[in-house]
A and B are shown apart, each in its own frame.
Chain A
């Protein structure tokens, strides 16, 4: 059973458009949610974190969290060709009774921004 699911894409958007990336997660208690960007051949880089329901904006990026729906998304406004990368959703999932958490990644969505 997959814990964190993402549409693998590829998602293609024209330059200047809004790219919308989605992620759902299993129903274990989760407190923290992250979006990472990974360029080909490079390691992931943290771009957004969100901990409470609602929207969080940082420059052209907006993360949206809905815990009731177990859904987290990332919007990229004014998409640029340099945004072309794989975007990984990560969720801190609790192991019930163990008091421990594990950062669990989705498989990533490949985004291509077309000039």
Chain B
């Protein structure tokens, strides 16, 4: 159980365009979803936490107008990178958790974004 599906796995886009990444919990209801970014050889950096039906909470330094997060249902959260630039190229990973704090969070397979 606890499968999280993330799409696309890889995307290459032109500078200035927007990219949408989807994260779905397949066999459980994810009340909370997290979006991370990881640059090469660096650790996971939490970008934002989204709770179903409410606005996402962004970490300091993350532009909420650039990284739009929607968590409209208990099984789907999306991250849209708007007006992407080469410095946004990174590995984006979502994770999802249940209501209880004691469950380990399951990660999606990640999205490798390259902005050219």
Contacts and interface: CB of A to CB of B under 8 A. Distances in A.
Contact of A88 (B34, B44, B101): B44
A91 to B, nearest CB: 11
Nearest to A93: B101
Interface residues of B, number: 22
B67 interface: no
Contacts, number: 51
Interface of A is mostly: strand
Contacts of B44: 44, 88, 105
Contacts of A104: 46
A80 interface: no
A39 B104 CA distance: 18
A31 B44 CA distance: 21
Contacts of A90: 104-105
